[in-house]
Amino acid sequence: MTTDIRSSAQPLVSVVVPCFNEEDVIGETYRRLTAVLCGSGQARFELIFVNDGSRDRTLELLRGIQAGDPSVRVVSFSRNFGHQMAVTAGIAHAEGEAVVLIDADLQDPPEVVLEMLARWRRGVDVAYGVRGEREGETAIKLWTAKVFYRLINAMSDTPIPLDTGDFRLMDRSVVEALQSMPERDRFVRGMVSWVGFHQEAVVYRRAGRFAGTTKYPLTKMIRFAVDGILSFSLVPLRLATWMGFTAAGLSLLGILYAMVLRLLTDIWVPGWTLLFIALLFVSGAQLVFLGVIGEYVGRIYGESKRRPLYLVQERLGFPREVRGRERPVESIP
């Protein structure tokens, strides 16, 4: 992004807000965003709400908001495709020189976007939020989040900042780099780290949800963690290889031990219990790593089908030429 655009009085900034069953908070989210961002006078903003197949009144409320505000855009999926796909769709529809990702639950304060925008004007390509404090979250969730980020950094060749989410501002050059990555199993915060560019942290205090319930229960958190690890690490496969070498080495030692006892002594090999335990251990390890290999093979199978990442059922607020433009990661109904 050129310095002239960053330093211009009114650059266009796109704010992407993925939504899933957020009827209790969506009105307040819109009010806070417009009050903070549009009232700052630092840039022109477009708000892109992505309805990820909500089953409540979220889409109805978004239609009403868009009807009264031409700066609001709405992208509505044909069904629920998941948070990462909603983020991807918002990025694909963004027209701004910079793009902000923020969730609809108001845990990430809109006021922090102004600090991210200031960093961008000074030449930073990605200003990502780091959760210095986290309100309203259980000790188990805090602990598992810390473990996840440290585990994935230990296993991945791409360092991912600790204690971050998708809350960030990205320059257009970074957005275009992400657009060139049409992989199916998406871990956006890892993808942003992978593309590089000049990135800086913005530490902030994360609030509790304004209303509603979390959209990431334990099962989804586990699946998200698996996506992050398998998308950016081959360590599980290498671990399977080293486990195989270790088991083979121990087996060879056991064979030599049995041959020595049988050929040089009158003692038969004792240890039926130990043999039984070893057999169960090796069989269990084989099944575990077959599952790991199956995860990777399944991802290859998913990529080979070349299905669109998501399907859009409805768009509101976009210019005609934008509505009809082909995009690389979606199917246009």
What would the pLDDT profile of 25-61 be if each residue is shown by its tens digit? 888 889 988 888 877 777 788 899 999 888 888 888 9
pLDDT value of position 332: 38
Neighbours of 266 (CB within 10 A): 6
| CA–CA dist 117, 214 (Å, integer) | 28
- Kind and range of the H or E run holding 51: strand 44-51
Where along the chain do its domains lie?
12-141+157-215+307-323, 235-305
pLDDT value of position 16: 94
Among candidate residues 90, 78, 62, the one with its CA nearest the CA of residue 314: 78
pLDDT value of position 230: 62
pLDDT value of position 228: 60
Where are the strands (E) in 52-163, listed by range? Answer: 72-77, 98-101, 126-134
pLDDT value of position 169: 94
End-to-end CA distance of the chain: 32
pLDDT value of position 243: 72
Neighbours of 320 (CB within 10 A): 7
| CA–CA dist 84, 86 (Å, integer) | 5
Alpha-carbon Rg for the chain in angstroms = 25
What does DSSP assign to residue 164?
E
pLDDT value of position 327: 47
pLDDT value of position 19: 92
Tokens linked to 54: 């909500």
Stretches where the chain sits below pLDDT 50 are 210, 321, 323-329, 331-333
Q: Which amino acid is at 10?
A: Q
pLDDT value of position 99: 92
CA 102 to mean position of chain CA atoms: 12
Q: Which CATH class is domain 12-141+157-215+307-323?
A: alpha beta
